[in-house]
Structure 1
Amino acid sequence: MEILMSVVIGIIFAVAVYLMMSRNLIRVIIGTLVISHGVHLLLLTMAGLQTGAPPLLSLEESSYTDPLPQALILTAIVIAFGVTSLLAVMGYKTYKAHKTVDLEELKGAKDE
């Protein structure tokens, strides 16, 4: 299962890098969102399934998942949502000011 998830994470990273290399500002914003979700999956996959004593002392389980990476991923999801919202607002304001989302045209744009 970990090999399958590694392949899926690699595909997600490839798609995110492709989107971030685009000339369209909206695709760059979506690329940052996709790459953040790829990192979340990577962290969850790398945490893996632990063997040995469970985190709760009263249970006699043979395997368990560590709750710390899951808590970190939940925090990272909230932060990624905030960053994506900020980028979406900045992209909207850029479009309203310059009437384009093409990064090549924005590179030479002067403030009015």
Structure 2
Amino acid sequence: MKDIDKTPGERLKLIRKDTLNIKSSYDIAEQLGISQSTYVSYELGRMDMNVSFLTKMHEKFGIMPDFIALGKGSPKGNPDKNTSQIPEDLRSLKSKVLALEARLEKLARKIK
């Protein structure tokens, strides 16, 4: 069965066991700061997951809310392939800004 064909509760259980490798509902509920009965109700589909819960899953474990709710994407998302380039781009931009600042100072001195 594809993830998109599963219920949000089934995806939640799959995430807990396979992605996060957390064996018991008690352990994950404790980490999230909610009761075990509430967490189990989410997994069993007895209770709809609220935004607060989906936010906690994302903030605590990096789990994408779209995956839990809709089965779209993957549990941890699809990181942009270019994110590793960001530090290098920032260094390059910083050096360009410094060069421009130096040129501006030089021009300002000529104007005076």
Shared fold, TM over 0.5:
no
TM-score tier after normalising by the smaller chain length = under 0.3
Question: Which is higher, the Rg of structure 1 or of structure 2?
Answer: 2
TM-score normalised by structure 1 residue count: 0.28
TM-score normalised by structure 2 residue count: 0.28
> Per residue, is there more strand in 1 or in 2?
1
